[in-house]
Structure 1
Amino acid sequence: MSASDKQHHYAVNVTWTGNQGTGTSAYRAYSRDHLINAGDKPAIAGSSDPSFRGDPARWNPEELLLASLSACHKLWYLGLCAGAGIVVTDYQDAAEGWMVEHPGGEGQFTRVLLRPTVTLAKEADGEKARDLHHTAHEKCFIARSVNFPVEVEPVFVTAP
């Protein structure tokens, strides 16, 4: 970190809410449920993936990682478009991630694919709009922090 770099700090509280009376007395004796809090923001109800005895109605860490990558890219992209005079009227990302689990239980993500569908105003420069996805990817804080490939395959639509 150089002297001109700004440092940011983030804090969340994760509280396990899954003690069903006997704590972790056995693998099946407890719920994986938890609450994620940050300041006065609404809590996020979390659990593990259903493959790991989690509640499918709650967010799991893998989904939150994927959502973080998608949202970070979108925020950079929209800001870059605004700065370049490219009008985006809609943005939806159908992001996917792949994780491998090894026989011992450990694992990691191996790839994430962001598939944003971007609606551009009629007069928008489509080539520049496409190029800005590359710039957004290079600048995304979350994508720069992970050790697996994050790919972006945008689709463009022109507003009526």
Structure 2
Amino acid sequence: MPGEHHYALTTTWTGDRGTGTSGYRDYDRAVTIRVDGKPELLASADTPFRGDGTRWNPEDLLLASLSECHLLSYLHACVGRGVIVTSYVDDAVGTMRQEGNGGRFESVTLRPRVTVSDASMIDAAVAAHDDAHEWCFIASSVSFPVRHEAVVEAG
């Protein structure tokens, strides 16, 4: 089926052990990744490609990989910058264009909503997204733009 295909998922960091990212070993790397209406991490092809639309597909998983890679790189960058993250939720979206029997992703936009423990950390927390983008192996491996539209607030 020709045209654009859009994907969206939510990646939630669930690894706060009570002190956020106060130290590199002080937080768990646990993440929950969900696509509305689909079970977690069961895979198939996407429906337009004759797959099971109730299961995760490669396009969802690519988007999830980009989202989680940025999240994990970001948490590491925050530790280095002295930023204590207490919450991180990303509502990532991607656009794929199918042409004939092939196609490609055209872009992905990560939309992380981050809470830090103190307002004085907001500028450093925003800057840490640039570090994360540079450090993310997955984003460095794809041939389409991966953008981030981050919102950071103190909680």
TM-score (structure 1 length as normaliser):
0.69
CA radius of gyration, larger in? 1
Match of 1:80 in 2: 77
Which is helix-richer, 1 or 2? 2
Return the letter of the residue paired with 1:155: V
* Residues 55-86 of structure 1: per-residue CA shift (max 9 Å, x gap): 12211000000000000000010011012210
Cα distance change on mapping 1:137 and 1:45 into 2, 3 Å: same
Cα distance change on mapping 1:44 and 1:129 into 2, 3 Å: closer
Structure 1 segment 136-147 matched on structure 2, within 5 A: 136-147=132-143
Q: Contact 1:89–1:120 at 8 Å: present in 2 too?
A: yes
* Residues 107-130 of structure 1: per-residue CA shift (max 9 Å, x gap): 000000000000111254211111
**1:45, distance to aligned residue in structure 2 (A):** 2.3
In 1, Cα distance between equivalents of 2:113 and 2:151: 5
Match of 1:115 in 2: 111
In 2, Cα distance between equivalents of 1:47 and 1:92: 25
Q: Contact 2:81–2:128 at 8 Å: present in 1 too?
A: no
**Number of residue pairs matched by the alignment:** 116
State the percentage of identical aligned residues.
50
Q: Contact 2:86–2:116 at 8 Å: present in 1 too?
A: yes
In 1, Cα distance between equivalents of 2:91 and 2:41: 21
Higher relative contact order (CA 8 A, sep 6+): 2
Match of 1:96 in 2: 93
